[in-house]
A and B are shown apart, each in its own frame.
Chain A
Amino acid sequence: MTSTVLAAASSGAPATMHEAVLFWLLAPIAVAAAIGLVVARSAVHAAMMLAAVMMCLAAFYTAENAPFLAVVQVVVYTGAVLMLFLFVLMLIGVDSTESLMETLRGQRVAAGVIGLAFSILLLAAIDGGIASFHPKGVVSAEAGKGNVAAIAQLLFSRYVFAFEATSALLITAGLGAMVLAHRERTSARQTQQERMQERASRGGAAIAPLPGPGVYADHDAIDTPALLPDGTIAALSVPSYLQVSSAQPRREDPELGA
């Protein structure tokens, strides 16, 4: 399909049949995904919806003779930016599903009304402004060099200052993110000796390493607690975030049992 689309696009400005098919196939998906993004309960789902929209847009870029942008859209946007979103989502808790109850009075109604009005306005403006416009197509502007080379030429000639400015912006943004995410240490790092002393001061069994799980037990799964010499369960042998398995040691130790 891509090849046909590319062929159609390279031929000239007016949209071809192939392009129409592509559009009418993907546009509803994009709109549906966008709506899904707004209404999804889970943030991860929302991210998936956004990815769908972006992929659709990448396809449209190809159809519109912008293969460079299409690739950038996929690699940078869908690949890097969206992954960054997901990464942060994981970092702050995936399962923090948001309550969809609106807390601001009238916010949702107002947003709906204004959004509707805004879209009507935009559509009307496009309708009034573009209807009689005959598309020229970008192929002539590429001057036979191909899209990437033509964009590169523009980028490094006419837009070179803007390009440099954005590079500075990216560096600044990276630095800013580092500064914002950085956490200042408020106390000196504990030395090994200090950690030892602290542990010894707590007294008891804490001096020795914690008992490993599964010792004297039927199973060696990590949630199976170790057994103490008297046959009781050593609660410390299981990490606190795991449920202690209900599986009790079944085998009677003949020596202990006696």
Chain B
Amino acid sequence: MRVDYYLYLSAVLFTIGAVGVLVRRNAIVVFMCVELMLNAVNLSLVTFARLNGSLDGQIIAFFVMVVAAAEVVVGLAIIMSIFRSRRSASVDDANLLKY
């Protein structure tokens, strides 16, 4: 098998995640889809590290995980406070900022 299959898998997972962000309305599920995309990218990074024979890709993947953790914390807190005031976790309901 070839190493670049990981990349194909990563691309497929990324696209599925992106489509999920576009079609799901529950904010938490949307967030999960974002996480899926991040994970797909991480897979690519790890594979690139292997291809390049350097650990930098793994380091970057590590940083991506850290940032993803921070993002999840803040994002979920935002979802919480929106839910508190609007009793809804749908991203379509938070549409006041418009024309």
Contacts and interface: CB of A to CB of B under 8 A. Distances in A.
Contacts of B14: 119, 122
Nearest to A40: B29
Interface string B52-66: 111110110111011
Contact of A77 (B1, B13, B39): B39
Name B's interface SS. helix
A141 B2 contact: no
A236 interface: no
A133 interface: yes
A203 to B, nearest CB: 34
B11 A123 contact: yes
A10 interface: no
Contacts of A173: 69-71, 73-74
Given A20-B1, A68-B58, A27 B9 contact: yes
Contact of B12 (A64, A119, A133, A183): A119
Interface of A: 13-15, 19-20, 23-24, 27, 30-31, 34-35, 37-38, 40, 43, 46-47, 50, 53-54, 57, 60-61, 64-66, 68-69, 72-73, 76-77, 80-81, 84-85, 88-89, 91-92, 96, 98, 102-104, 107-108, 110-112, 114-116, 118-119, 122-123, 126, 130-131, 133, 135-138, 140-142, 147, 150-151, 154-155, 159, 162, 166, 169-170, 172-174, 176-178, 180-181, 183
Interface of B: 1-9, 11-20, 22-26, 28-29, 31-33, 35-36, 39, 42-43, 46-47, 49-56, 58-59, 61-63, 65-74, 76-81, 83-84, 89-90, 92
